[in-house]
Amino acid sequence: MRSRQRMFAAVMRLLLKCLRLGRRRRFRLVRQAEQLWHYGHLCLRSLLYNSFTNGDVVLDSLFEPVYWLVDHVTRWFGVVFVALVIGLTSSIVAIVYICLLPLILQTYTPAWICWHLAYGHWNLIMIVFHYYMAITTSPGHPPQAKNDLTGVSICRKCIAPKPARTHHCSICNRCVLKMDHHCPWLNNCVGHYNHRYFFSFCLFMTMGCIYCSISGWEMFRDAYAAIERMKLLEKERLQVATNQTYYQTPPPTFSFRQRAFHKSVVYLWVLCSSVALALGALTLWHAALITRGETSIERHINRKERQRLQKKGKVFRNPYSYGSWDNWKVFLGVDVPRHWLTRVLLPSPHLPHGTGLSWDLPPCVMEQRTPLLAI
C-alpha cells in the first residue's frame, strides 16, 4: 500500500514538473515574440520619426534596388554605348563620302563645293576631337589624402571630406569634382575637367546633324520617292510573273547599287534628324544650366534652397554664378578675345579655370568686377 502511494506521488511530481517546464517554455516564446515586436517597432519609428527624414528620403529608400540595377547596367553597358556612337557616326561619314560627296562634286557650283568641303570637315574634326577628349579625360577626383583637403561636408559612401560642388557617383563609385552627371554614351562622368568637352561634343554633333538634314532634304525626298517606285515596280513584276505570257515582258528592276544608294540617303536623313531633335534639346538644356552657372545636380539643390529661403522672405543667390556672359567665358576658358577662335572654334585641350577643390574668382571676371570706391 505504501509503495503504491509513493509511486503515485512520484508520478504526480513528474507531471507537475512537466507542466512547469511547458509553462516556462511558453512564457519564454511569448517573451521572445514581444522582444522582436518591440525591436521592429523601434526600428520603424527610428526610420519614420527622424527629423531629417522627408518624402525624398523615403522615395530614395524605396527605389534603392532600382537605382542599384540601373547603376550596374549602365556600368557594364557603357562600352556598348560608346561603340554604338562610334558605329553610327562612322556609318554617316561613310555614306557622305561614298554616296553624297561624288554627287556634290558633279552637280554643285565651285563655291558651294568649297563651302561643303570646308564646313563638313571642320565640323567632323570638332566632333571627333571633343568626343575623344570627353571619354578619355578624367572628370577630376578629390585627393585620397584626407589631410590635404578641407571639405565642406563628408561623403557618406567614401567617408572622406568632400569639396564644394563635389558629388559621389554611384556608377564610378568615386567622388567627382563639379559633377554634372554620369553619361553612358561617354562611359564616363561629366565633371570639372571634361564638362567643356561634353558640351562641345553635343553642340557640334547637333550642328552636324542639322547640316546633314538641311542639305540632304532634297536628296531624301528623291530617294524616298525612288524607294516607293521600287515597291510599286516590284509588285507589278510579281503580278506579271504570275500571269506572264510569251508576248509580255517584266518591268525593269533597280540594280543593287541603286537600291543601296537610295536606302542609305533615307537612313542618313532619318538618323540625323532624330539625333538633331533629341541631342539638340539636351544641348539647349545644358546651355541654360551653363548660363545660370550651375550643373544638373546643383539645379535641384538650388531649387530646394530657393524655395526654402523664399518661405523665409529671403532671396537665393548662386555663389558660383558670375552673370550670363561671364559664366560662358569661365566655362569655355576665354580669357582674351582671341580665345574665341583658338579655344572655341578650333580644337583646344586647355584646362578649365581652377582645380575644382576651391572656387576663386577667375581672372576674366575679376578684371571686370573691380570694386568702386564710394565717394
d(CA 75, CA 188): 9
Q: What is the mean pLDDT of residues 315-332?
A: 91
For residues 368 and 38, give the distance between their C-alpha atoms in angstroms, rounded to a whole number: 65
Asked if 354 contacts 360 with a C-beta cutoff of 8 angstroms, the reply is yes
Burial 148-162 (b: 16+ CB within 10 A, else e): eeebeeebeebebbb
pLDDT winner (highest mean) among 33-37, 50-54, 141-145, 219-223: 219-223
Would you state the cell numbers that stand for residue 130, as one nine-digit string?
Answer: 571633343
Q: How many residues does the chain have?
A: 375
* Residue 210 confidence (pLDDT): 96
**What is the spatial distance between Cα 291 and Cα 353, in angstroms, rounded to a whole number?**
16
Q: What is the pLDDT of residue 292?
A: 93
Under 8 Å between Cβ of 253 and 237: yes
Catalytic residue among 99, 183, 209, 272: 183
For residue 373, pLDDT beyond 60: no
Instruction: Spell out a b/e string for 284-293, using b for 16 or more CB atoms within 10 Å of the CB, else e.
Output: eebeebbebb
pLDDT at 76: 76
Does the reported pTM lie above 0.85? no
pLDDT at residue 371 above 50? no
35, three cell numbers: 522582444
C-alpha cell recorded at residue 164: 564644394
- Residues 199-218 have a mean pLDDT of 94
Q: Tens of pLDDT along 249-276?
A: 555 566 778 888 889 999 999 999 999 9
Q: Name the nearest CA neighbour of 276 among 212, 181, 190, 186.
A: 212
31 vs 8 pLDDT, higher one: 31
Q: Is 169 a catalytic residue?
A: no
Taking only the tens place, the pLDDT of each residue in 111-169 is 999 999 999 999 999 999 999 999 999 999 988 765 655 556 788 888 788 888 999 98
Least confident window among 146-150, 282-286, 356-360: 146-150
Beta strands in the chain (DSSP E): 153-154, 161-162, 167-169, 174-176, 181-183, 188-190
pLDDT per residue as tens digits for the range 192-208: 999 999 999 999 999 99
Gap between the Cα atoms of 182 and 127, Å rounded: 20
Q: Which has more confidence, 45 or 52?
A: 45
Tell me the three cell numbers of residue 365.
Answer: 571676371
- Residue 118 is predicted with a pLDDT of 95
Give pLDDT, residue 363: 78
Q: Show the cell assigned to 55.
A: 518624402
Are 71 and 189 contacting, i.e. CB atoms less than 8 angstroms apart?
no
Cell numbers for 90: 562612322
